[in-house]
Amino acid sequence: MKTPVTVLGLGAMGTALAQAFLAAGHPTTVWNRTPGRSPELEGAIRATTAAEAVAASPLVVVCLLIDTTVRETLEGIDVTGRVIVNLTNGTPDQARSLEAAVPGAAYLDGGIMAVPAMIGGPHAFILYSGDTAAYERHQADLAVLARPLYVGADAGLAALYDIALLSAMYGMFGGAQHALALVHSAKIPAVEFTEQLLVPWVTAMLGSLPQMAADLDQPSERGAAGSNLAMQAAAYHNLLDTAVAQGVDPMLLVPMGALLQKAVASGHGDEDLAALIRLLG
Ligand SMILES: NC(=O)c1ccc[n+]([C@@H]2O[C@H](COP(=O)([O-])OP(=O)(O)OC[C@H]3O[C@@H](n4cnc5c(N)ncnc54)[C@H](OP(=O)(O)O)[C@@H]3O)[C@@H](O)[C@H]2O)c1
């Protein structure tokens, strides 16, 4: 028989996780603060309390709003002998602290790199960290949700990777959203601009990331800058001036301009974009 699982939280993501477990044939117990959510989960066993749900299965997946929600929900519940897999978004410190708050249980923290519609599909992956033996025991069970990637025994590591990837995503969307506001201000059709120019341009620029990362890992092998920072800082004013002239708030662009100025002022004008990473910390 497939491992019985419990899912705490039937928001958009918890529902998708429970659906994937049910589709793979796992006896699946679910609990949600507000009863009656997600009637589409046919075959799920509905627990009336979180404690009852935790008692029902050796593997307990938690997907609630934020860290405090998880703590309030698990408070006072006997988790002895359970594997708690917390897929709620949080910080590395929150993950480590939660691990300490569930004595008697094995703790895994996870970062879901997907939206609900991707769960159970080929492009989703979930980062895990924490109890190695528990991960190895349940890797196949967790694989029905998304491709599992174990990143280390420190429970905080999955959150660190997750937050790093989300930070990159928001930066990318921020730049693209500014670009769209700019073309929209000139009544240029957004879809055509996006498909024909924005996506190909961003995709081509992403190709420079591995070299940037290599410059960070091996500074001694850094080559000459093809696009030096002094040149980029000089041109950056045009980005800000054009935004203002078009009536577009430059708030998403301003921090990068300040960082470029700082790099030039501190003697890095002849280096390339990798130098900015070192200035951040
Ligand atoms: N959706 C995504 O694209 C996505 C992607 C990756 C990661 N995540 C992460 O997955 C987690 C869940 O996201 P979601 O999209 O499922 O959010 P959601 O649809 O807003 O659902 C939130 C869930 O948290 C529960 N909840 C909120 N406050 C509570 C409280 N005080 N006590 C008990 N339960 C409480 C809600 O229960 P009620 O029904 O009773 O309100 C619901 O089950 C979040 O940490 C999110 O960052 C989401």
Pocket of ligand 1, candidates 8, 13, 31: which has the most ligand atoms within 8 Å of its Cβ, to mutate? 13
How confident is the model at residue 221, as a pLDDT?
74
Q: Atom of ligand 1 at shortest distance to CA of 13?
A: 16
Q: Atom of ligand 1 at shortest distance to CA of 37?
A: 39
For residue range 44-97, list pLDDT tens digits in order.
Answer: 999 999 999 999 999 999 999 999 999 999 999 999 999 999 999 999 999 999
Residue 219 pLDDT more than 90? Answer: no
* Residue given tokens 């930066």 in the structure block: 171
Residue 226 pLDDT more than 90? Answer: no
Average pLDDT, the chain: 96
Pocket of ligand 1, candidates 6, 15, 31, 33: which has the most ligand atoms within 8 Å of its Cβ, to mutate? 33
How confident is the model at residue 268, as a pLDDT?
94
The pTM is what?
0.94
Give percent of the chain with pLDDT exceeding 70: 100
> Is 34 touching ligand 1 by the criterion CB < 6 Å?
yes
Question: How far, in Å, from the CA of 122 to the mean position of ligand 1?
Answer: 23
For residue range 107-122, list pLDDT tens digits in order.
Answer: 999 999 999 999 999 9
Phi and psi at residue 213, to the nearest 5°:
-65, -40
- The alpha helices in 149-228, defined as continuous H runs, are 157-185, 190-193, 199-206, 209-217
What's the sign of the alpha-carbon dihedral 143, 114, 60, 135? positive
How confident is the model at residue 9, as a pLDDT?
98
For residue range 138-176, list pLDDT tens digits in order.
Answer: 999 999 999 999 999 999 999 999 999 999 999 999 999
CATH for 5-158 is 3.40.50.720
Measured CA distances, 24 to 45, 91, 118, 144, 147 (Å): 15, 30, 15, 7, 14
Residue ranges per structural domain of the chain? 5-158, 161-280
For residue range 255-271, list pLDDT tens digits in order.
Answer: 999 999 999 999 999 99
For residue range 119-135, list pLDDT tens digits in order.
Answer: 999 999 999 999 999 99
Name the CATH superfamily housing domain 161-280.
N-(1-d-carboxylethyl)-l-norvaline Dehydrogenase; domain 2 (1.10.1040.10)
Give percent of the chain with pLDDT exceeding 90: 93
3-state SS class at 145? coil
Q: Atom of ligand 1 at shortest distance to CA of 15?
A: 16
The CA distance from 68 to 94, in Å, is 9
